[in-house]
Amino acid sequence: MPLQYIFLSHDVDWRKQGPPKEHVLNRAERFDESTIRNIDSKNPYYNFPQYMEIEERFDARSTFFFRTKYENGDVTDYEDEISSLKKGGWEIGLHCDPSSIYDLAKIRQEKEILESLTRTKVFGNRVHYLGFNNELPKKLQELGFVYDSTVKNSKDQIIKEDFGFFQLERLFEFPITLMDAYMFTYMGLSEEQVLPVVQKALNESRQINASFNIMTIIWHDNVLQMKGGRMYKKILEFLTQQDDVKICTGINLVNILKNA
Ligand SMILES: [Zn+2]
């Protein structure tokens, strides 16, 4: 029986067409030369087929959190991706806009927009930029969400409070243990340090609770071709080699916890 659960997730922060070319060129040092050379024909922020292929290869499934408000873009552009993900066993969650979180009606509207694309209920939420407030869990619960994964207690360290889960009434909250963006900014990691840090986090998870624990990981959908971000495959390879590790979506995890 797996003892260490990994809630694996991807936040879809950018519209399907990606950011303007200048945005990528201003960050050219993050990419291989060939990626930059091909930028006019291939948007390096678009990685859905690759993510699906990698996760299928390792027999892992994750949750993709979609925004409904994209700068100069439209979530309906992702209709085909959402449909393929759903068919393949991935979960679709809401990446709620930080401007919506104080207003029940705005969150409801976002949920309904996404549900019209998934054609099923959406159970999970994570707020873009990790916006949070104490009244949010109540609102999410009222709207039929069963879990949220927005809380992050430390940006630059791996700390005990960012493992596991807690419950806010009936709503499950999965704090974020590791996030790609913070690993390369606040934590200041180089590409070579990515895998050792994931290994270290897993060991801490085992030390905190050897018989059952949860680690929540965010790997943004747009970073797969970036230096550092391209370590994703190696991370999955490492995790799936561990006998005590099981990778799952947020809703899978909630069902495991409810039946425990
Ligand atoms: Zn985001």
Please report, for residues 15, 67, 70, 125, the alpha-carbon distance to residue 43 in angstroms, rounded to integers and kept in the order given: 11, 19, 16, 27
Q: Report how far ligand 1's centroid is from the alpha carbon of 66 (Å).
A: 9
CA–CA dist 12, 67 (Å, integer): 7
Judged against a pLDDT cut of 80, whether residue 144 lies above it is answered with yes
What is the per-residue pLDDT for 210? 93
- Residue-wise pLDDT tens digits, 80-111: 999 999 999 999 999 999 999 999 999 999 99
Q: Which of 54, 27, 52, 151 is nearest to 101 (CA)?
A: 151
- Residue-wise pLDDT tens digits, 146-191: 999 999 999 999 999 999 999 999 999 999 999 999 999 999 999 9
Q: Report how far ligand 1's centroid is from the alpha carbon of 129 (Å).
A: 5
What is the per-residue pLDDT for 230? 97
**Number of domains observed in the structure of the chain:** 1
Question: Which residues share a beta bridge with 179?
Answer: 218
What is the per-residue pLDDT for 1? 58
* Average pLDDT for the chain: 97
CA–CA dist 131, 98 (Å, integer): 5
Judged against a pLDDT cut of 80, whether residue 28 lies above it is answered with yes
- Residue-wise pLDDT tens digits, 61-70: 999 999 999 9
Q: Report how far ligand 1's centroid is from the alpha carbon of 11 (Å).
A: 5
Instruction: List the CATH number of the domain containing 39.
Output: 3.20.20.370
The domain containing residue 81 runs over which residues?
A: 4-259
